[in-house]
């Protein structure tokens, strides 16, 4: 016969219920925290001339689409994509050169993606330690 004795079962049950109830909220907090970090990195990489482009960075609303949580980081200035990816320089309807992109959001996103596993573990360790 095999027997397992568990002490404090009620305490474990309460902790599991707490995690089940608060996990969606904690995921949302984590995602918002990650979006804020991405916003900071993108702003730092944004060239500053008049400052409109830097001030144009925003975080969208957190949305649920099925099982997915979605939040967007974007720049509201119409010319942000040209600064991001580069563009032709045209004078008098003639292409005279090419302005390279700054890849403000592209590079920042790659950097954040590399940090996600470590950040996620740290965030949820903090949640579990609070139990």
Which helix (H) or strand (E) segment holds residue 121: the answer is: helix 104-129
Nearest by Cα to 104 from 43, 34, 35:
43
Residue 126 confidence (pLDDT) = 81
Please state, in angstroms and rounded to a whole number, the distance separating the CA atoms of residues 114 and 23: 23
Domain boundaries, the chain: 23-75+106-126
Count CB neighbours of 38 within 10 A. Answer: 20
Residue 2 confidence (pLDDT) = 52
131 residues of the chain, pLDDT tens digit each: 455 555 666 776 777 777 777 777 888 888 999 999 999 999 999 998 878 999 999 999 999 888 788 999 999 999 999 999 999 999 999 999 999 999 999 999 999 999 988 888 888 888 777 76
Angle 9-45/104-129 helices, nearest 10 degrees? 160
Please state, in angstroms and rounded to a whole number, the distance separating the CA atoms of residues 45 and 126: 30
Residue 20 confidence (pLDDT) = 72
């Amino acid at each position: 016969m095999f027997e397992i004795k568990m002490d404090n079962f009620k305490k474990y049950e309460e902790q599991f219920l707490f995690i089940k109830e608060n996990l969606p909220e904690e995921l949302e907090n984590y995602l918002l925290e990650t979006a804020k970090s991405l916003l900071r990195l993108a702003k730092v990489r944004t060239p500053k001339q008049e400052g409109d482009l830097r001030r144009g960075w925003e975080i969208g609303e957190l949305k649920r689409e099925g099982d997915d949580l979605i939040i967007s980081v974007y720049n509201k200035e119409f010319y942000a994509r040209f600064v991001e990816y580069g563009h032709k320089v045209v004078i008098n309807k003639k292409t005279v050169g090419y302005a390279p992109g700054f890849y403000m959001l592209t590079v920042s996103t790659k950097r954040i993606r590399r940090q996600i596993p470590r950040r996620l573990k740290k965030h949820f360790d903090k949640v579990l330690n609070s139990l």
